[in-house]
Structure 1
Amino acid sequence: MTTRHADRCAAFRALHRAGRPLLLPNAWDHASAAAFAARGFPAVGTTSLGVAAAAGLPDGAGATRAETLRLARRLCRLPVLLTVDVEGGFSDEPAAVAALAVELAGLGVVGINLEDGRSDGSLAPAAATAAAVAAVKAVTPDLFVNARTDAWWLGVPDPLDQALDRVRAYRAAGADGVFAPGVPDAATIGVLAAAVDAPLNVLHRPGGPDVAELARLGVARISTGSLPFRAALGAALATVDALRAGSADAGPYPEPPSYADVQRLVP
């Protein structure tokens, strides 16, 4: 990788500060990522659900490798640091996951999310995910690998114990940060933040702790996940439903960007 890419990876790493978390909006296409960048967010992630749904494919099934690469190629042209959700790496072979990481880093991507949830609703063996993490770090040491455990997401027994064992194994394999979506409450988030020697990433949950509370708990990164994509879809449905019902109100949301505003997002 180039010196410039290494510097951008270092800049992204520096944004992960316990107590001063990075708020990471997750995009699903060029327009959403460009809009987030234009709002001043220093880094943008992708959402695997949004990418998959926009392509007419299922999420979490390893079906969107080509779409993920195609989108990363577009988004790396934007003036923003980009981290990419690669689900489980689109392969059970650590060497293939590492090859994907090399390809993404070559485009300018500064980080990836690598998860242990499987499409059948089970967790991959921790050793298998750790091997994928180690393989990626061996060939792209500057890339920020955010290792995600779906212990809560998939409702496994004793999720805290499972999550702690797993994120510690991923950290030992070289993961730069750990991600635990679905953590149910502030107390458990605090336990995780204190127990793991790595930046902790959590998913924003409507009705859950706000940014200030997550900062107090020691979180280093807050992802929006698929929420912006689902909110955009909800706003689109609200608009057409209101029009069909004969309402004069376009919808219960702020004024949308104008045609000219959207055109300005395209370089």
Structure 2
Amino acid sequence: MRERKSPFVRLFNKTPAGVCCPHFYELILSNGCPYDCAYCYLRLTFRGNKGPVMFTNPWERVRAEIDKSSSGVFSTGELADSLAVIPPLLWEAVEYFREQKHKYLLLTTKSCNIGLFREVKPTPQVIISFSINAPEIAAKYERLAPPPVARLRAALELLELGWRVRIRLDPVVVEGGLEIYRPICREISSIGVERVTVGTLRQYPGLYRFAPDAPRCGLRKALDGRMRYPVSVRAGVYRAIAEWLGFEPALCKETDEVWKLLGWQFQGCNCTF
């Protein structure tokens, strides 16, 4: 727990050319994550030390920065799991965005820590996005995080309470065969969330210094500098998942060449309203 000296709001616009990723705002209410996911990019971002840090500044300072920003999505999940440890400033953030018309709060999580949302009235200005994976991949690589089925139960509960809920199926890891994703896709489809965004495993080579057990089988260095599966493999993943979901999902940080190969049209993703 400490005060933050750097800005709370900054525009996320650092995606390399050739990768489809609309700009959004990072709203940094906390840093880090208690879960032990082997592939997590935060291991590289924080040089191996990704333990949670909660910021305790007065809300007025955060509000002033948001007030100066234009309309858009403000994500608390770029440098942290939004709900694994509840930031002290989160309640005030929810109430602030409740009064907005063109600004949205996005919370991304692998947790089931939804008690706050049982206690307050839903608002369309707040979106809760649950990161899900195949149970087999979660058991191997998402250590300490709740099981995917538990996350889906939490998502369904929030939906029934009237909150806006999204699912992020990311990262898809194909080393165990793609068929392991069929059941979880069917479950996601049955819940009926407002949007599903899918991404395949991708990571910068520097991650391996801090996460030697990160999955890497089948990855090659792509034009954007990340380690990715070949284009044909990624396109095959998205086609299969679209079939199992029953609709075309959004794609996360995917390259132009994959979009062209699929012939899909971008219609929003996890971080757009």
> Structure 1-normalised TM-score?
0.45
State TM-score, norm by structure 2: 0.45
More helix by share: 1
